[in-house]
């Protein structure tokens, strides 16, 4: 039996013809009968928005294509007159949706992750005047999610290992099977914004990248990382030094907590 949501609008964006998100968005629109708003972003539009997103986030994290996808989705919401949007922020974290989690001690890891997880959608939404609602981040729901056994989050289904197993199972009767049991894709992959890694890399020569690694006080992970840093230097400025009680980020030298796993400015991440 179809579960119809005729008055609920939904949003999806992608970079030109890249990514699979439109396919799944259209499946859901047909199944649930909601109004679907789609926007195809050109590479030129995306590149022009890089400085805006870097300025909003005060960050040159190489995961910026994720934030660009969110920026254009929230911008689409504003253009359609929406005052608020609802996101799934936190679901992959609380229900072990990422494949790297499959072999971790989730009893130990997930509660720690729940304490430090942060999402850029709220920051970008605030800049655009859009309220971002995040039901998975409700304190009571977080407690409930953490009470669920990890064996119900990572589990075999038809001979394949899935994260978010219990969440998929809870909604499989309401959704097309191809949607309910699709593989987890990062935002930048599903939206096609990962293509920007290739586009930006082509703009920086081997020699420019070699010199930059010697001249700048940042451990660049890639050429696009350098590209984002150069824009950060123009629109944000210098990397802030550590504050009392902080330690230096190994990636860029800013201040982070001694127990931090990630630097929000340069994207440095501690290995698990």
Number of domains, the chain: 2
Taking the chain (272 residues) in runs of 10, the rounded mean pLDDT of each run is: 66 95 92 91 97 98 96 97 95 95 95 92 96 97 97 94 96 91 93 96 94 92 96 97 95 93 92 57
| pTM for the whole structure | 0.93
Residues 142 and 265 in one domain: no
The per-residue pLDDT for 5 is: 58
Q: Is residue 135 part of a domain?
A: yes
Residues 78 and 132 in one domain: yes
Q: Is residue 1 part of a domain?
A: no
Residues 159 and 267 in one domain: no
Residues 141 and 257 in one domain: no
Q: Is residue 4 part of a domain?
A: no
3-class secondary-structure state, position 41: strand
Encode burial over 244-261: b for 16+ CB neighbours within 10 A, e otherwise.
Answer: eeeeebebbbbbbeeebe
Residues 164 and 57 in one domain: yes
Cβ pair 136, 91 in contact under 8 A: yes
3-class secondary-structure state, position 124: helix
**173 is in which domain, residue-wise?**
9-237
The per-residue pLDDT for 246 is: 95
Residues 246 and 228 in one domain: no
Give the residue ranges of DSSP H helices in 80-222: 91-94, 106-116, 120-128, 139-147, 165-171, 177-180, 187-190, 195-201, 206-215
Q: Is residue 214 part of a domain?
A: yes
Query: Of all helices (H) and strands (E), which one includes residue 84?
Result: strand 84-86
Residues 129 and 262 in one domain: no
Q: Residue 208's closest CA among 196, 197, 198, 220?
A: 220
Residues 51 and 174 in one domain: yes
Domain of 18, CATH number, reads 3.40.50.620
Residues 36 and 170 in one domain: yes
The per-residue pLDDT for 8 is: 85
Residues 160 and 182 in one domain: yes
- Strand 131-133 relative to strand 84-86: parallel, antiparallel, unpaired? parallel
Cβ pair 263, 254 in contact under 8 A: yes
Q: Is residue 27 part of a domain?
A: yes
Residues 106 and 136 in one domain: yes
The pair of structure tokens assigned to 186 is 């990062």
Kindly report, residue by residue over 23-78, the tens digit of the pLDDT: 999 998 888 888 999 999 999 999 999 999 999 999 999 999 999 999 999 999 99
Residues 98 and 220 in one domain: yes
Q: Is residue 2 part of a domain?
A: no
């Amino acid at each position: 039996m179809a579960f119809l949501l005729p008055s609920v609008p939904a949003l999806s964006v992608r970079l030109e013809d890249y990514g699979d998100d439109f396919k799944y968005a259209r499946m859901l629109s047909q199944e649930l009968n909601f109004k679907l708003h789609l926007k195809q972003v050109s590479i030129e539009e995306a590149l022009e928005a890089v400085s805006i997103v870097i300025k909003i986030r005060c960050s040159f994290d190489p995961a910026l294509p994720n934030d660009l996808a969110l920026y254009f989705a929230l911008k689409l919401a504003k253009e359609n007159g929406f005052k608020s949007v609802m996101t799934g922020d936190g679901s992959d974290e609380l229900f072990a949706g990422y494949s790297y989690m499959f072999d971790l001690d989730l009893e130990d890891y997930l509660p720690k992750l729940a304490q430090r997880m942060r999402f850029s959608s709220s920051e970008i939404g605030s800049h655009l005047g859009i309220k971002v609602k995040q039901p998975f981040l409700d304190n009571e729901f977080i407690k409930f999610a953490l009470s669920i056994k990890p064996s119900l989050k990572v589990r075999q289904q038809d001979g394949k290992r899935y994260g978010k197993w219990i969440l998929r199972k809870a909604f499989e009767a309401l959704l097309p099977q191809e949607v309910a049991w699709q593989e987890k894709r990062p935002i930048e992959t599903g939206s096609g914004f990962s293509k920007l890694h290739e586009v930006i890399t082509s703009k920086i020569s081997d020699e420019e990248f070699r010199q930059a690694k010697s001249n700048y006080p940042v451990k660049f992970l890639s050429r696009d990382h350098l590209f984002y840093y150069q824009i950060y230097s123009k629109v944000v400025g210098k990397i802030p030094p550590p504050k009392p009680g902080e330690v230096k980020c190994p990636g860029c030298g800013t201040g982070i907590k001694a127990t931090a796993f990630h630097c929000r400015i340069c994207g440095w991440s501690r290995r698990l």
